[in-house]
Structure 1
Amino acid sequence: MASNTNLTPPRGLEGLDLLASAIIILDDDNRVVYANPAAEHLLESSVKALSQLRFTEMFLNADSLNAVFRQATENLFADWRQDLTLERSGREPLHVHCIVSALDKPGMAILIELRENVQQLKLDREERLLDQSQANKELIRNLAHEIKNPLGGIRGAAQLLELELPERHLKELREYTQVIVKEADRLQTLVDRLLAPHRRPHIVGDVNIHEVFERVRSLITAEFPSGLAIKRDYDLSIPEFRGDKEQLIQAVLNIAHNAAQALAPRIAAGDAQLIFQTRIARQVTLAKVRYRLALDLHIIDNGPGIPPEIQDRIFYPLVSGREGGSGLGLTLAQTFVQQHMGVIECASRPGCTDFRILIPLP
């Protein structure tokens, strides 16, 4: 049957253009005769381009759907529903919930509804974060140990050299040896920070999450006494839980301190704001494990936002959006939270950056 592409919704189905779900209508030959704007967006293609294809030609693994389409046209079911991963050449696969229904209209045989499977996308992203974090930890540990031993030798050699300097040149040459010593000390401090999460024992005790936030609030307020308002939005019913209080203080402090530094222009203007929010989330999946309850913590600021080009890499070591930043604060925060079986997520746009910490509760 020849394709009869509709660039406007079929008569009687005008409301399809307004739906958030992707809607695709196929003819008897499985060619696209209609796709709503949501489908164009999801498939990253125009109706005109889609109309040149059979539906199964859009994906590398869609041949199995032919049997489903045939059964639909034979009225063997009212509708067919299944979660699918549709592979695409040169593009990210689509994780969707697919609904297939038969249509009884001239030139229109099949209606397909695709809903992006947000949960699957979230699971895949968390898995990538965990793999990335594990690789980072191995890299950091190996790199830090490789740097540490030569540093001690460089510092010691500079000190011995200073003792051997002739008296008449001591003042002018000592300046150079001191540069070597100070730079070696600076690198040693960096190495110690890199190794800190792996050296320090995980000390577990009863933790009140609001004591953690209040400790961080007092530290941030002491450093930024004016121009920065810290709003508390606490769920005081949250119970104590088992965890490492000092690690959690450091994780929250690293995030809040980064936020406060990014807020410098607003602090100068007097309208900078940080929000500390605590909630309980229910039925949370972290690293493919389902938890009945989890701490749902937010540190929100009204700063300029994280540059888009580094948003996917902000938890990598030595990646910083601030000139002069070490790029270790968020890496260490993620490590400390992961030692509590949790994860840190970030959503950022100009005027609002939200760091979300999820930690499972027993």
Structure 2
Amino acid sequence: MKTTRNTFDGLDLLSSAVIILDAESRITYANAAAENLFESSAKALVGHKLEELFLNGSHLSEIFHEAVQHRFADKRLDLTLERAGRESLQVHVIVTALDNPVTPVLIELRENVQQLKLDREERLLDQSQANKELIRNLAHEIKNPLGGIRGAAQLLEFELPERQLKELREYTQVIIKEADRLQTLVDRLLAPHRRPHIVGDVNIHEVCERVRSLIMAEFPTGLTIRRDYDLSVPEFRGDKEQLIQAVLNITHNAAQALSDRMKAGDALITLQTRVARQVTLAKIRYRLALDLHIIDNGPGIPPDIQDRIFYPLVSGREGGSGLGLTLAQTFVQQHMGVIECESRPGCTDFRILIPLP
């Protein structure tokens, strides 16, 4: 086995997973990328039949036998490999028949990034639809009794004897003010579903400039907002006010996360526009799409909520409502687009993709 490892050591430099099989379909070699892909060491993989690694490995077994019988020189296909207790692998597989009776087959596996992206978008859309239904139902259920609670508190205050009014008015006012606060929250939850979609010609740079001016007015010191615009981005049909609100919600969150850097004077938000080509959104292929990035150099989104940041009422900031990103995603989806996010300490990148004409 040491000889096999030394013979193929150069394959460890490849970013794609490579395994070599013997005549019995047993793994004799796995490179470093294969160890990462299969989440197992080469030592643990060697000696196992390839089909044993997956719940649906019979298809791989058939392809192996075709390769051994030299029915093809190489074969390429996309597969979903199911694993017990772990997430399935979406991979592009290249099977090569080798002119070697001892190790007759080499298999290269590359994670299918496009398929993973489509699956993630589909989950995001399903999640968003479920969120919208939950929000609407919950908001209406809360809204109805709120008016009664507030009204009852006002009546109680009105009926209090004069000698008790000063002493007890404090409590009735707490009820009234908390009912008003909840009413405001409910109105924000229902806002995207109430307001009509007003469509017109949208210049995304006018949207960005409006947001920039609003943020700079609120955070005048210690923050720089850098423009990196591609002026060739065409206008498109959309609701300008909704898009301003969506970009503003994201940028405002970024500015709030930069409070420590503002004190140091090196807080930075970048508004970047580009044109993306041949983009698939919600399983529809578009020739062109707006590619808008809102990037900050803050501490990053806490890892435990990164997968849930678009859920309603999820916030990484003390006192945050957890509605800003939910509403932003809703507004962008109404434009047939999507918001993606990548975050690590020192760089958080929100990416808005919207189809262009």
Query: Which bracket does the TM-score occupy, shorter chain normalised?
Result: over 0.9
**Per-residue CA distance 1:63-95 (angstroms, 9 max, x = gap):** 122222122112221101101111111111100
Note closer, same or farther for the CA distance 1:7–1:350 as it changes in structure 2 (3 Å cut).
farther
**CA distance in 1: counterparts of 2:148 and 2:2, whole angstroms:** 75
Report the 3-state secondary structure (helix = DSSP H, G, I; strand = E; otherwise coil) of the residue aligned with 1:64. helix
Report the 3-state secondary structure (helix = DSSP H, G, I; strand = E; otherwise coil) of the residue aligned with 1:226. coil
User: Offset at 1:10?
Assistant: 4.9
User: Offset at 1:214?
Assistant: 0.4
User: Offset at 1:109?
Assistant: 1.7
Instruction: Kindly tell me the number of residue pairs found equivalent between the two proteins.
Output: 357
Q: Structure 1 residue 298 and structure 2 residue 293: aligned?
A: yes
**CA distance in 1: counterparts of 2:2 and 2:151, whole angstroms:** 78
Amino acid at match of 1:63: S
Q: Look up the match of 1:340.
A: 335
Q: Look up the match of 1:69.
A: 64
Q: Look up the match of 1:192.
A: 187
**CA distance in 2: counterparts of 1:76 and 1:142, whole angstroms:** 59
Q: Structure 1 residue 9 and structure 2 residue 37: aligned?
A: no
Report the 3-state secondary structure (helix = DSSP H, G, I; strand = E; otherwise coil) of the residue aligned with 1:9. helix
Percent of paired sites with the same residue = 80
Amino acid at match of 1:31: R
Q: Structure 1 residue 151 and structure 2 residue 158: aligned?
A: no
Counterparts of residues 30-179 of structure 1 (less than 5 Å): 30-105=25-100, 107-179=102-174
* Alignment counterpart, residue 262 of structure 2, candidates 260, 267, 274: 267
- Whether the aligned pair in 2 keeps the contact of 1:7 and 1:47 (CA below 8 Å) is no
Q: Structure 1 residue 358 and structure 2 residue 350: aligned?
A: no
**CA distance in 1: counterparts of 2:170 and 2:183, whole angstroms:** 20
**Is the deviation greater in 73-82 or in 198-207?**
73-82
Q: Look up the match of 1:24.
A: 19
Amino acid at match of 1:27: D
Note closer, same or farther for the CA distance 1:6–1:31 as it changes in structure 2 (3 Å cut).
farther
Q: Look up the match of 1:180.
A: 175
Q: Look up the match of 1:349.
A: 344
Report the 3-state secondary structure (helix = DSSP H, G, I; strand = E; otherwise coil) of the residue aligned with 2:58. coil
**CA distance in 2: counterparts of 1:21 and 1:321, whole angstroms:** 35
- Whether the aligned pair in 2 keeps the contact of 1:233 and 1:278 (CA below 8 Å) is yes
**CA distance in 1: counterparts of 2:112 and 2:310, whole angstroms:** 25
Amino acid at match of 2:246: A
Amino acid at match of 2:248: L
Note closer, same or farther for the CA distance 1:6–1:60 as it changes in structure 2 (3 Å cut).
farther
**CA distance in 2: counterparts of 1:189 and 1:343, whole angstroms:** 27
Amino acid at match of 1:78: A
**Is the deviation greater in 281-290 or in 43-52?**
43-52
Amino acid at match of 2:300: G
**CA distance in 2: counterparts of 1:10 and 1:93, whole angstroms:** 31
- Whether the aligned pair in 1 keeps the contact of 2:234 and 2:356 (CA below 8 Å) is no
User: Offset at 1:60?
Assistant: 1.1
**CA distance in 1: counterparts of 2:350 and 2:2, whole angstroms:** 44
Report the 3-state secondary structure (helix = DSSP H, G, I; strand = E; otherwise coil) of the residue aligned with 1:213. helix
TM-score, normalised to structure 2's length?
0.98
Amino acid at match of 2:339: I
Amino acid at match of 1:130: L
- Whether the aligned pair in 1 keeps the contact of 2:28 and 2:47 (CA below 8 Å) is no
- Whether the aligned pair in 2 keeps the contact of 1:9 and 1:17 (CA below 8 Å) is no
- Whether the aligned pair in 2 keeps the contact of 1:6 and 1:33 (CA below 8 Å) is no
Report the 3-state secondary structure (helix = DSSP H, G, I; strand = E; otherwise coil) of the residue aligned with 2:99. strand
Note closer, same or farther for the CA distance 1:7–1:50 as it changes in structure 2 (3 Å cut).
farther
**CA distance in 2: counterparts of 1:65 and 1:164, whole angstroms:** 80
Report the RMSD for the aligned CA atoms in angstroms: 1.1
- Whether the aligned pair in 1 keeps the contact of 2:223 and 2:267 (CA below 8 Å) is yes
User: Offset at 1:52?
Assistant: 3.8
Amino acid at match of 2:249: N
**Is the deviation greater in 211-220 or in 61-70?**
61-70
* Alignment counterpart, residue 254 of structure 1, candidates 219, 233, 249: 249
**CA distance in 1: counterparts of 2:4 and 2:145, whole angstroms:** 70
- Whether the aligned pair in 1 keeps the contact of 2:23 and 2:101 (CA below 8 Å) is no
**Per-residue CA distance 1:275-329 (angstroms, 9 max, x = gap):** 0001110000001100000000000000000000100000000000000000000
Report the 3-state secondary structure (helix = DSSP H, G, I; strand = E; otherwise coil) of the residue aligned with 1:198. helix
* Deviation >4 Å, runs of 4+: 5-8
Amino acid at match of 1:90: G
**Is the deviation greater in 73-82 or in 313-322?**
73-82
Q: Look up the match of 1:206.
A: 201
Unaligned runs of 5+ in 2: none
Counterparts of residues 224-239 of structure 1 (less than 5 Å): 224-239=219-234
**Per-residue CA distance 1:189-209 (angstroms, 9 max, x = gap):** 000000000000000001110
Counterparts of residues 216-231 of structure 1 (less than 5 Å): 216-231=211-226
**CA distance in 1: counterparts of 2:42 and 2:199, whole angstroms:** 57
**Per-residue CA distance 1:93-122 (angstroms, 9 max, x = gap):** 100000111223353121000010000000
